[in-house]
Amino acid sequence: MGRRRELKGLRAVVTGASQGIGRALALEGARRGMVIIAQARSRNLLDTLAGESEGLPGKVITEVGDVTCAADRERLVRRCQNEVGGLDILVNNAGIGATGHFADSGPERLRQIFEVNVFGLVETTRALLPLIVKGITPMVVNVGSIVGERGFPARSEYSSSKFAVHAFSDGLRAELSKDGVDVLMIAPGLTQTNFSQNMIEQSAKVQLDHMRGMTSEDVALATWNSAAKGRDEVFLTRQGRLLLLVNRFLPWLVDRIMRRKVKNLFKDEPKAAPQAVS
């Protein structure tokens, strides 16, 4: 466990803030009296966010930028320095996904996912870390996923990127303890967002109903509450926690259920003929 913190008045960057969980994080932070620097690629959506934040106790400052672009990351650093005098919390929320079976995809899909979900997250942290270590009760928050704890069929690439986020969070937490910086890894389960509509590709036969999940606002509440308490990691949704519990003690059962589901979906497709070895 890290330190408890009073969120009111703290300065926080939220990446991927124009929609979904990021938007909810920005608005909830402003409701708690925080100063939020909301970064995303869409100027129009950020303008809408700024309008929605008017009248809240805190403040939302919008910054157009892409976490994969070095120039945008440096501009974000300067914005934090010049406009709010530093940074206390970084929330690495920006992410993309794709569904589809690995054998049917090319390397471009995996590289694009890792470029945003892993390299963009890591390099944004690297760029802002000199400001964070000087902050008030500083913290880095990395948004992972339940599927980053247990890989899912047709989501192996996205799952892999979120596994990497968890591993990075664990290592960073130990490294930054000497500087008094806490690291929170929060893993949402199914969430009611436009994430599935914004995926770079959707070709999975194994479907998940995101509309049955928790709301973005619920994720934002859990995230800021966990940050205030100094939590290290949080796994969201009852179903997500149940899956991880079963997977911990009965991983073979989870494997069997997933294999059976995939086999049933592909039962009408011909099997690949074995190749002769010359």
The shares of helix, strand and coil residues in the chain, as percent rounded to the nearest 5, are: 50, 15, 35
pLDDT of 276 > 70? The answer is no
Q: Is residue 268 part of a domain?
A: no
Higher-confidence residue: 98 or 65?
Answer: 65
Q: In the chain, how many domains are there? A: 1
Condensed to tens digits (0 to 9), the pLDDT of residues 183-223 reads 999 999 987 766 555 665 665 555 555 456 699 999 999 99
Say if 198 falls within a structural domain. Answer: yes
> Cα(13)–Cα(88) distance, rounded to whole angstroms?
8
* CATH code: domain of residue 86: 3.40.50.720
Q: Which two tokens stand for residue 17?
A: 């803030």
For the question of whether the overall pTM of this predicted structure is more than 0.85, the answer is yes
pLDDT above 90 as % of the chain: 77
pLDDT in tens, 142-170: 999 999 999 988 889 999 999 999 999 99
DSSP 177-212: GGGT-EEEEEE--SEESSTTTT-S-B--SS---GGG
CB count, 10 Å around CB of 250? Answer: 11
Kindly state whether residue 119 falls inside one of the protein's structural domains.
yes
- pLDDT for 26-49, tens place per residue? 999 999 999 999 999 999 999 999
Q: Which residues are catalytic?
A: 158, 162
Query: Is residue 269 one of the residues assigned to a domain?
Result: no
Q: Can you read off the two tokens belonging to residue 30? A: 């402003």
Are the beta carbons of 198 and 96 closer than 8 angstroms?
Answer: yes
Q: Which structural domain range is residue 76 located in?
A: 11-238
Residues 234-249 have pLDDT tens digits of: 999 899 999 999 999 9
Residue 259 located in a structural domain: no
Would 278 be classed as within a structural domain? no
Q: Identify whether the C-beta of residue 25 lies closer than 8 Å to the C-beta of residue 14.
A: yes
CA-wise closest residue to 14 among 32, 33, 1, 30: 30
